[in-house]
């Protein structure tokens, strides 16, 4: 398998520069997505009012809860394709590509139906305030029409990143995002569509990004070329994707459940705090999405080096990730605290919303590096083939402990600050577990490498 110009040799040479070059397009893509989402909220908040801003913000945790289980399968795609690509298994890469696109279409349609049917009862169950619930339902029902396209795009992007191409997914998302912003202003400001306008803008941009990435795969050469007539599920590849991706999806869903519970607690304070929580969370996404680019770099570089059996390079990848986590926290965290108040002022002119948003930012930025460890180190562990361990760490350290926190400390002292402190405490617990999981997986891989030689072409299970 020849190395294409857009692909990156992750198995030879210095790692730091290559990881940065790989992560930068993903970082830019994530930041652009964040800015596009911010544009949604700014437009609806400025031109449709506080209630509309709160209505859009109140749906985020619930949307993630519904889609994350299946979106996690794209992690399995990234690992399996990266390992096969690193091992130069051309036919296996092709089978993984067509299997991934097939399951993305099926799961996207399934999630769309679930979202359309259950959005109202779930929003009611979360205690969404009466003054915004109808708007929230409207937004979710339109949003889920675009979920199949979003699912296909994310699986396609995972395929490209697995072979070292992190630029084209960024280009396509940029184009779709610009269209989204233009349509936002047209639908909301010109046509006065409010929440519905923001939702339809998102749906249209999602289908555009799907079209662009599928054309890219169709026109690609070599193993990742998508050939429509070969679109089918290879059951062996599906098992590999599910083995890695399902625990990642379960982790995302469980994490979302805890966020839904926190959102329910936020809802109990009324629409003002909902608006503040939404705006502040969007600003904090600047550092969160940056950390996510390191996660994608970790999972892809580790996966390819696992496939090439270059295990010592994984230690270097972990050290680079650690340095990036701390440097990002110090620089971006400091910037957010310094200019947080004027940034929140872009979302809304309501002084109470801004003040509550700043309270949340101060709590979050104080220990955001713990969120980095919780988010990035699972990429290293999954890249080595272990996916259940990171899921368990998130389940216990973040999800379970958040439930415990809400049932104890927050119940005893039901204040806004006590609610926000829940985040850094559970990040720290989950982060410790994720680092420990990586060290365990690393030790197991070294033991297997020192053991009996595995016949070439066999797939020895390294999952826990």
Q: Which of 448, 285, 205 is nearest to 277 (CA)?
A: 285
Q: Give the distance, in angstroms, between the CA of residue 77 and the centroid of all CA atoms in the same chain.
A: 14
Among 22-31, 135-144, 379-388, the minimum mean pLDDT is found in 22-31
Q: State mean pLDDT over 244-255.
A: 77
Per-residue pLDDT tens over the stretch 264-290: 888 888 878 888 888 888 888 888 888
pLDDT of 131 > 90? The answer is no
Q: How confident is the model at residue 8 (pLDDT cuts 50, 70, 90)?
A: low
CA angle 322/325/331 to nearest 5° reads: 140
Q: Where are the domains of the chain?
A: 16-448
Tell me if 233 sits within 8 A of 380, measured CB to CB: no
44-48, 299-303, 400-404, 417-421, range with the lowest pLDDT: 44-48
The mean pLDDT of 12-18, rounded to a whole number, is: 84
d(CA 448, CA 430): 27
Q: Which residues contact 266 (CB under 8 A, 6 or more apart)?
A: 273, 274, 277, 419
Across the chain, what does the average pLDDT equal?
Answer: 82
Q: Say yes or no to pLDDT of 3 above 60.
A: no
pLDDT for position 319: 93
Could you tell me which residue, 217 or 347, shows the higher pLDDT?
A: 217
Q: Is the confidence at residue 320, as pLDDT, over 90? A: yes
pLDDT value at position 460? 41
Greatest pairwise CA separation for the chain in angstroms: 69
CA dihedral 409, 410, 411, 412 (to 10 degrees): 50
> What is the mean pLDDT of the segment spanning 450-456?
54
Q: Which residues contact 287 (CB under 8 A, 6 or more apart)?
A: 328, 329, 332, 333, 336, 365, 368
Q: 278-316 burial, b if ≥16 CB within 10 A, otherwise e?
A: bbbbbbbbbbbbbbbbbbbbbbbbbbbbbbbeebebbee
Q: Which of 6-10, 282-286, 314-318, 354-358 is the least confident region? A: 6-10
- pTM for this prediction: 0.68
Give the percent of the chain with pLDDT over 90: 17
Place of tokens 């190395």: 3
CA-closest candidate to residue 187, choices 142, 226, 156, 225:
142
Six-digit token string for 168: 């084209």
């Amino acid at each position: 398998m020849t190395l294409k110009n857009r692909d990156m040799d992750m198995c030879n040479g210095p790692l730091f520069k290559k990881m940065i070059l790989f992560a930068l397009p993903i970082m830019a893509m994530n930041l652009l997505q964040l800015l596009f989402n911010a544009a949604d909220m700014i437009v609806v908040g400025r031109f449709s009012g506080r209630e509309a801003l709160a209505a859009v913000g109140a749906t985020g945790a619930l949307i993630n809860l519904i889609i994350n289980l299946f979106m996690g399968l794209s992690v399995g795609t990234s690992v399996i394709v990266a390992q096969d690509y690193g091992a130069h298994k051309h036919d296996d890469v092709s089978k993984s590509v067509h299997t991934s696109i097939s399951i993305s279409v099926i799961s996207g349609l399934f999630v769309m139906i679930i979202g359309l049917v259950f959005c109202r009862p779930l929003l009611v169950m979360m205690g969404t305030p009466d003054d915004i619930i109808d708007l929230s339902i409207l937004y979710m029902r339109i949003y889920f029409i675009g979920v199949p396209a979003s699912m296909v795009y994310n699986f396609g992007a995972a395929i490209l990143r697995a072979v070292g191409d992190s630029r084209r997914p960024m280009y396509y998302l940029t184009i779709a995002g610009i269209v989204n912003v233009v349509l936002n202003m047209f639908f909301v400001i010109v046509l006065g569509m409010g929440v519905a306008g923001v939702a339809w803008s998102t749906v249209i941009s999602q289908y555009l990004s799907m079209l662009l990435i599928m054309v890219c795969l169709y026109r690609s050469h070599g193993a990742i070329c998508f050939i429509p007539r070969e679109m089918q599920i290879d059951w062996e590849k599906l098992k590999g994707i599910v083995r890695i991706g399902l625990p990642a999806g379960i982790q995302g869903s469980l994490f979302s459940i805890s966020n839904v519970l926190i959102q329910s607690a936020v809802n109990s304070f009324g629409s003002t705090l909902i608006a503040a929580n939404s705006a502040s969370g969007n600003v904090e996404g600047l550092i969160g999405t940056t950390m996510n680019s390191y996660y994608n770099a970790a999972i892809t570089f580790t996966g390819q080096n696992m496939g090439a059996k270059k295990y010592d390079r994984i230690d270097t990848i972990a050290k680079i990730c650690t340095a990036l986590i701390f440097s990002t926290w110090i620089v971006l965290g400091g910037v957010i605290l310094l200019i947080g108040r004027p940034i929140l002022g872009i979302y809304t002119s309501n002084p109470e919303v801004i003040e509550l948003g700043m309270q949340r930012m101060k709590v979050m930025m104080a220990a955001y590096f713990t969120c980095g460890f919780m988010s990035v180190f699972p990429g290293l562990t999954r890249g080595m083939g272990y996916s259940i361990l990171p899921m368990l760490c998130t389940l216990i350290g973040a999800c379970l402990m958040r439930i415990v926190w809400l049932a104890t400390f927050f119940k005893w002292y039901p204040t806004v600050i006590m609610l926000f402190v829940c985040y850094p405490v559970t990040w720290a617990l989950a982060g410790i577990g994720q680092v420990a999981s990586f060290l365990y997986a690393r030790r197991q891989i070294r033991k297997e490498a020192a053991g009996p030689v595995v016949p070439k072409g066999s797939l020895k299970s390294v999952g826990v």
